[in-house]
Amino acid sequence: MAWIVLVISGLFEAVWATALGKSEGFTRGGPIAVFVVGIVLSMAGLAYAMRDLPVGTAYAVWVGIGAVGTVAYAMTTGEEAASVARILLLAGIVVCVVGLKLLP
């Protein structure tokens, strides 16, 4: 259960990071509300997962999922350029995250 919650909280990290960028320095109400909800859910999920998972592993997986999710969203919406090199590097992060899950 901890791993499922950790993955979901990593996705919420991508949500709040994206909303933070769209808030234009905390001047737009809608993105600020999404940011607040996203960060609360993301941190709560990370804290829950850390009850059963080592702190270093949980944090690395959470950050990895959040980073990949944030960049993938930005590339999908055209806010950031997509390239083969960038996609391969993001895939490398995903492989490392999966590797952390598979290690005993």
Measured between alpha carbons, how far is residue 53 from residues 1, 31, 72, 78, 86 in Å? 11, 31, 26, 36, 30
Distance CA 98, CA 36 (A): 28
Q: Residue 104: what pLDDT?
A: 75
Q: What is the mean pLDDT of the chain?
A: 97
Domain span at residue 65?
2-102
Please tell me the total count of domains within the chain: 1
User: What percent of the chain shows pLDDT beyond 70?
Assistant: 100
Question: How many of the other CB atoms lie within 10 Å of CB of 61?
Answer: 23
Give yes or no for a contact between 32 and 15, defined as CB atoms under 8 angstroms apart: no
Give yes or no for a contact between 14 and 70, defined as CB atoms under 8 angstroms apart: yes
Q: What is the mean pLDDT of residues 66-87?
A: 97
Does 103 score more than 90 pLDDT? no
pLDDT digits (tens, 9 = 90+) for 23-69: 999 999 999 999 999 999 999 999 999 999 999 999 999 999 999 99
